Amino acid sequence: MIELREVSHSYEGKLVLKDISVRVGMGEKVVLLGINGSGKTTLLKILNALFFPDRGKYLYFGEEVSKKRLRDRSFKRRFRSEVALLFQNPDVMLFNPTVYDELAFSLRQLGYDEGKVRERVLLWAEVFGLLPHIKRPPFELSGGEKQKLCLACLMVLEPKVLLLDEPTAHLDPRTTGWFIDLLWEFKGMVITSTHNLSLAEELGSRLLVLGEDHGLLYDGPVKEFLKDKEKLLKAGLLHRHGGKDYHLHSF
C-alpha cells in the first residue's frame, strides 16, 4: 500500500500540489486526471521518490519514503525494484547503445547476475514484440516502438507498482488495446495519468482528479465522475463554445 498524508509541493515558490491525502492498495488500477499544470506529473515523481514533498509524508507499506530512508541500501534496492515510473517522453528514458542493454540496465544497476538479466530481458522483449530489434540502437525505433521499449524496461523489473505518465500517447489504437489488456493482467498497483478521457474507464476503476487549485478534487469511481457535469466543470474538463451544449475535451 502507498499513502500520502497532506502532501504539498512547490517549484520556486509556486504551489503545484496542495494537501494531497490518499491511500492506494495493491492490485488497484487508478486513473489520474487534471488539466495541464494541475500537478499530475509531480505527483507521480513524488510517488517514485524523484521528488520529496515540501510538507506532509509519503508512506510505502508503512515506511516513510525520504532522502534519509533512501540512504539505506537495502530499502533503496527494494523500493527501486518495486516502484517503476514511465515518463511521458520516451526519449528521456532511452540512452543505452542497444535495445538489449536498455532492457538490462536497471537489472544490472540492482546487481542481478547476467544469467538472470538475460532471462528477464529475453522474456519481456518477446512479450513486447521487441526481439526483432534486440540488437538495434533505441534511437532507430519508431515512436510507438520506443514507448513499448520504455514499458518493457519497467516490466523487466517485475515491479509491484507501476506509475505511468501518458503511456498511450505514442501508441496506435491496436497497440493501445493490447497495452490496456496487459495492465489489467498485471497483479500489482497501477496509477496512470492520462489526457485521453475516452480511455479513462478502460485504464482503471478508481479516479483521482487534481483541481486547478492543485488539491485533490475527486477520489472515487471513474463512471460516477464522468457523468457529473458540475464536477467536470469544476475540474476544467468540460467546456462550452458559442452557447452550444457542454462537451468533454481530451486535451
Please report the DSSP string for 63-91 in residue order.
EEP-TTGGGSHHHHHHHHHHEEEE-SSGG
Could you give the CA distance from residue 154 to residue 103 in angstroms, rounded to a whole number? 8
* Span 227-239, average pLDDT: 81
Whole-number Å distance between alpha carbons of 69 and 210: 28
Q: Is residue 24 over pLDDT 50?
A: yes
Tell me which residue has cell 542481478.
Answer: 112
pLDDT in tens, 170-220: 788 888 898 899 899 999 999 999 877 888 999 999 999 999 899 999 999
Q: What confidence score (pLDDT) does residue 244 get?
A: 56
CATH number for the domain spanning 103: value is: 3.40.50.300
- Longest CA span, the chain: 64
| Class of residue 174 by CB neighbours under 10 A (exposed 0-12, middle 13-18, buried 19+) | exposed
Number of domains in the chain: 1
Residue 226's pLDDT band, with cuts at 50, 70 and 90, is: confident
* 116 to 102, 121, 217: CA distances (angstroms): 15, 8, 44
Alpha-carbon separation of residue 47 from 147, 176, 235 (angstroms): 21, 24, 22
pTM, two decimals, is 0.90
pLDDT tens digits along 94-123: 999 999 999 999 999 989 999 999 999 999
9 is in which domain, residue-wise? 2-248
Question: What is the chain's mean pLDDT, rounded?
Answer: 91
- CA distances, 135 to each of 36, 96, 131 (Å): 37, 11, 9
More reliable by pLDDT, 245 or 73 = 73
Between 234 and 42, the higher pLDDT residue: 42
